[in-house]
Every structure is written in structure tokens, then in C-alpha cells.
Amino acid sequence: MLWSNFLLTMFGVFFLQFFLSEFMSINMIRPDFMTIFVLYTAIKFGRFYGVIAGFTLGLLTDLAGVSSYFGLSSLTYSFSGYLAGYLKNQYNRLIPLYFHLSWVSIILFQFLVYCFVRYQYLYETNLIQFTIKWVLTMGYTMGFILVLQLIFPFKIYSHAESS
Amino acid sequence: MRNIYLALIRQRDHVAFFLAVLISFSLILSNNTQDIVILQGKANDIFSFLYKPVARLRSMAVVEVEAAVLREKNIQLKLQIESMLNLVAENEQLKNLLKYKRESQLTLLPAKVINKGLTSNLNTITIDVGSNQGVGLYSSVLTPNGVIGKTVAVGKYSSIVQVISDVNFRLSVQVLPSGARGILRWVYGDLCEIREVQKNSEIKIGDRVLTSGFSDIYPKNLPVGIVAGIREERGSFQKIITVRIAENLGSLINVFVITEQKDALE
């Protein structure tokens, strides 16, 4: 993979998030295009590129404006990139159901960590409301991933042969 | 040496991950250091420069709606002023009677919201004023509806504001007319909670919540919200007050920064 292409795409996604996320905000919840990019990068190119993409985008996100837990985004994105990297070339080795469950679990985990830190008071006081918040925050991004699956399914994107 | 290098290359996935986690954790643990605040301020200047055209477009799109709302508000305020002028005169007389005069002057700097961060949920906003306009670190930020946050990183031309919906945001408040005091923290949506309120305080739904003044950041009596619920916990000497904040944080466009506060008792 060309580093220049990789970097260009990465910054393209960052600016997409930078300029578009606010316009797509629903009730203060926004889609996370960078998570989608990290997921696709890791599944196609492996753990190393997943971690690099995750860490860089996370750092840029935090630099673009967070007031507390500076470094949390780079941590969660790096985790996602690393874990999703294990799915590289696994489409044919795993049962498709397990493959899809795996990346869904990674996204669930990433947003769980993020929501747990951001809504820790809500977690302590109202677990149901916390769960709703987590599901909604994750659901918006997951919706975009599912739509993308119709255009660029992981099966084709990871160059896996159809079984 | 060569073997170590080759091993690092072979295991680069794990090495990169380990380094990423290590750096991330060290950043999280050094959150409030001066270096991080300066770095954020400088980065924010660059990002706000990039986002300014978009913010201008967005504000132009809402300017018509905003003008209509402002016209309506203007009429309401004119009516209120009329009734308040009478109250001011009455108040002055009472103050003179008590030989007590209090002056509280705030210098407000208008600012536009140019960015609301990139994270999935809103916990910061970026405003288009910085140290060049007189904004300092930890200046309180408000709207006509009440307090919404404080500046946590200040660049030359822009500042990052920690919004009330941030997990680490706390605000010392009082509930009027009872005068009960406590620390306000955000829960979700437009709801906040005050936990440290004595059980015997007489608080009713609809009571006003204002800043207490027990802070170097927030002046006294700035509006915060209204009491939306009260509940008592068994085995505790305190009750929990649910507060509904008046401002819709998701649609902030214009805010004010308190750049100077003179609070004198004569």
C-alpha cells in the first residue's frame, strides 16, 4: 500500500468528519466516520495500519477540541484498529456470522469504553439511560457501516474469495 | 542490534499498538498540564481557521430564523423593561433604606461558536475569540439563558470551551428562594443533578437555580436552570435535585464570555 494514498485518505476522512459531523448531528449525537475508516483500514491492511490510522485520527480528534480525557480517542481508536486487524483475511477462515459478529463486537466495545468514560455519572446513577445513550451513540455510526456494507462489503473489500 | 531491529520489524503490529496505548495513557494522565493546554490552544487556532468559512455559512443559513426570533424576543423584552423599570425604582428605594449598595459589573465579550468538536457526543465547543480579545483561561461562558461552560484552552484567536455536558464539569449553585447550595453536574440531555442538598431544605419544582458565587470562575447569581425534580434517598441526609438547563446545547451559535468581573460591596 502506498503511504501517500493512505495518508491522503486518512486526512480526507478526518476533514469529512471535521466539516460534516456537525451537520449530521441528531440530538447531540454524531456519526463517527473515523471509526469506520479505522475498521476498513484494519480489515484490509492489518493491525499495523489499523493502529497507525486509529492513533493518528484519535490524536487529531482530541486536538480539534476536547476538554477532558485528552488521549481517550487515540486510545479507543488504536484498540479498535488493533483488534479489527485480526480480521484481515479471515472472511473465508471464519464462518461469516462470526466474522460479522467480531467487527460488530469491536465497535460495541469501542463505544462502550468511550461512553463509560464520558457518561460515568450516568452509568452510576441510571444504568438504563446509560445503555440507551451507548446504543444510540453506537447505533448512528453502525447505521453508516451497514449502509456501506451494501456498497463496499467487507467480503469484497478484504479481497476474500466468495465461498 | 540488527536482531533487535528485525524483531521490531517482525512484531511491528504489536510494537505500534503498545506505543499507541502507552502514549495515549500518558496523555490521559497528563491532561491538566500546561504543555497540553498550550498544545490544544495552538492546534485549536489552526482548526478554527479551517472551520471559520463553514461556521460563516452555517450562521448565514440560520440568520433569517434568528432574526425572526430576535424580533419576537425584542418585543417581549420591551414589555419586560417597562415593568422592570418600576421594580428598579422600588428596589433602589429599598436599598437606600437599608444603606446597602451592591454593584456587580460584568464585561461580556460576544463570541460565535465555530466548532463543536469531533467526538460522537458534544462536550466542547470552539469559539472565535481568544487571548487577543482578552479571553483568559477559565473564563465563564454563558448565553442569555444561563451558564454553559468555561474556557479550558485559549489560543490567540480561538478558545475551547468545556460545556456543561462534559463529564468533568462541576458548578457550585444555589436554589432560590430557599438558598440551598450544592454542586451541579450533568446527567444527560438537558438534565443535571445537585446531590449535596440538605434534606430539610424547602425546594419546590420550578425553583430557580443560580450560581452560588463560591467560585473564582463564575460570578454570583448567573442563571443556570430550574428545578425539574426532587427525590430523597433512604438512609441519606441529603436529597437529589434534578435541574433542567434552559439552553439547548446542541444548537449553540452565539455565546458570551465574561472577560472581567468587578464585584464590590460598599
**Which range is least confidently modeled, B81-95, B182-196, B202-216?**
B81-95
Give the separation between CA A78 and CA B18, rounded to whole angstroms: 10
B162·A64 Cβ contact <8 A:
no
B120·A69 Cβ contact <8 A:
no
| Each residue's pLDDT tens digit, A54-66 | 999 999 888 887 7
Q: Phi then psi for A32, rounded to 5 degrees?
A: -115, 90
pLDDT at A71: 87
Task: Name the band, by pLDDT with cuts 50, 70 and 90, for residue B101.
Answer: very low
Q: Where are the domains of chain B?
A: 1-30, 41-261
Task: Name the band, by pLDDT with cuts 50, 70 and 90, for residue A163.
Answer: very low
Task: Name the band, by pLDDT with cuts 50, 70 and 90, for residue B263.
Answer: low
Give the separation between CA A87 and CA B160, rounded to whole angstroms: 38
Query: What sign has the CA pseudo-torsion A86, A88, A89, A94?
Result: positive
pLDDT at B262: 62
The span from the first CA to the last CA of chain B, in angstroms, equals: 75
Closest partner residue to A32 (CB to CB) among B47, B120, B249 is B120
| Each residue's pLDDT tens digit, B135-190 | 888 888 888 788 888 998 888 888 888 888 888 888 888 888 888 888 888 888 88
A96 pLDDT more than 50: yes
pLDDT at B138: 87
Task: Name the band, by pLDDT with cuts 50, 70 and 90, for residue B87.
Answer: confident
pTM over 0.80: no
Chain B hits for A22, CB-CB cut-off 8 Å, are 58, 115-116
A31 upstream amide cis, omega within 30 of 0? no
Residues constituting chain B:
266
Give the separation between CA B128 and CA B160, rounded to whole angstroms: 9
| Each residue's pLDDT tens digit, B131-150 | 888 888 888 888 878 888 89
CA nearest B170 in A: which residue? Answer: A121
Calculate how close chain B gets to A97, using CA atoms only, in Å. Answer: 26
Task: Name the band, by pLDDT with cuts 50, 70 and 90, for residue B55.
Answer: confident
**Angle (deg, nearest 10), helices A47-63 and A72-85:** 160
Section B209-221 average pLDDT: 85
Residues A86, A153 contacting (CB under 8 angstroms): no
Residues A41, A154 contacting (CB under 8 angstroms): no
What superfamily does domain B41-261 belong to in CATH?
Answer: Rod shape-determining protein MreC, domain 1 (2.40.10.340)
Pick the closest to residue B125 from B87, B86, B165 (CA basis): B165
Contact map slice: A 29-58 vs B, CB within 8 A: 29-32, 34, 46-48, 51-52, 54-55, 58
**Which range is least confidently modeled, A66-80, A105-119, A145-159?**
A145-159
pLDDT at B70: 81
- Which DSSP category does B254 fall into? E
Section B65-76 average pLDDT: 76
| Each residue's pLDDT tens digit, A27-55 | 778 888 999 999 999 998 889 999 999 99
B103 pLDDT more than 50: no
| Each residue's pLDDT tens digit, A115-136 | 888 888 888 888 898 899 899 8
Pick the closest to residue A45 from A162, A158, A160 (CA basis): A158
